[in-house]
A = this chain, B = another copy of it.
Amino acid sequence: RNASTKAQSSLTIGLIPADGIGKEVIPAARQVLEALPSDLMPAKIQFEDLDAGFELFQKTGTALPEETIQALKGHCDGALFGAVSSPSHKVAGYSSPIVGLRKKLDLYANVRPVLSAAGAKTASGKTRPIDMLIIRENTECLYIKDEELLTDKDGHKYAVAKRKITEFASKRAGQMAFTMALQRDAMRREVTLGERIWKHKPKVTIVHKSNVLSITDGLWRETVREVYESNSEFVKSVDIEEQLVDSMVYRMFREPEAFDVIVAPNMYGDIISDGAAALVGSLGLVPSANVGENFAVGEPVHGSAPDIAGKNIANPIAAIRSAAMLLENKGYNAAASAVYRAADKVLASGKYLTPDLGGNAKTTEVTEAVCREL
């Protein structure tokens, strides 16, 4: 059931719009998947609507129902997740359903490609070519949510959270990063040189802050380096470098073209991928896939954007690209490519751009335009 298994003849995809604009962009992604002609997409796709989110929590007291988990584990082949709203105050019993989903399905890597495409300006105003792939460890770090509120002897409040880094999870994330670096390189060789953005030897940048967190981030960087050093193909064909997370954000903005694959612990990966999204014009363009051994959940990097929810102006491209990542993960490469290309064409034409890209197209107009380009 992963990228390397043979494509199946039928595919069940769970749809979890969750909150805010998730309810608009997930239907958009579904519409695009349904519009795929059968020569591109041999398998029939079945959809299953599933519940989760903060709004659901407010209604029912549960943010991630057990039925959703069971459906995903039981008979879904993959899923698409929209976005969750964050309560503005601490709400007893509430815990982010996307964080829960990643953990419960052991989706250990969050894969976030950030590409400068036609129609999207980079932050520098110039068309600086950007083609990075961020691999974010997805199960631990500060996201284990092991926190405590305490009182010191003088009656003052303090709180402690634990940040956990395991050799096991660091190894998996590292393995994924080097493998993807080689895969991307192979894919680039298939297209003409002129279209290649990254023209160098594949490179993996290991992000950490081991000058302060010498033990946790020390374990992270040593483990990722070991994955590299113990595989002669990696050593031969991939370059590595390390970057402290603070200077990473600095360098990413000064010379984004200097990065190929980036691998980072959970929290740094979260911050870096939003930063990278700013470089390519809009969070509304950046997809991700939460990937495990046997399952993947596509998820746009953007949030639930309550301020624009329900107005039919959310950018559906990130969700549509997330659907393409899911197809790719399931081995439907032709279908995935068709979706990517259709989205690129719509952006390049400049005719259907949502307000985040300076246009005034509706969510539904962009979605229909993508369907026409398939």
Interface residues of A (CB under 8 A from B): 84, 86-88, 90, 94-96, 99, 123-126, 142-143, 145, 147-149, 152, 156-168, 209-216, 218-219, 222-223, 242, 244-247, 249-250, 252-254, 267, 270-275, 277-279, 283, 303
In the complex, what residues of B have CB within 8 A of residue A160's CB? 162-165, 216
Assess whether A159 is in contact with B164, with CB atoms less than 8 Å apart. Answer: yes
Known: A147-B213, A215-B149. A271 touches B283 (CB 8 A): no
Residue of B at shortest CB range from A91? B214
Residue of B at shortest CB range from A251? B278
Known: A147-B215, A249-B275, A303-B247. A158 touches B163 (CB 8 A): no
Residue of B at shortest CB range from A282? B254
8 Å CB contact of A254 from B158, B267, B273, B278: B278
Known: A162-B162, A249-B275, A274-B246. A212 touches B99 (CB 8 A): yes
Residue of B at shortest CB range from A92? B214
8 Å CB contact of A161 from B162, B270, B278, B283: B162
A-B residue pairs in contact (CB < 8 Å), sample of 5: A158-B164, A159-B166, A161-B163, A249-B249, A249-B272
In the complex, what residues of B have CB within 8 A of residue A223's CB? 157
Q: Closest Cβ of chain B: how far from A280's Cβ, in Å?
A: 11
Assess whether A253 is in contact with B123, with CB atoms less than 8 Å apart. Answer: yes
A205 to B212, CA, bound (A): 26
- 7 smallest CB-CB distances across A and B, nearest first, come from A86-B211, A147-B215, A253-B278, A158-B166, A125-B125, A246-B274, A157-B167
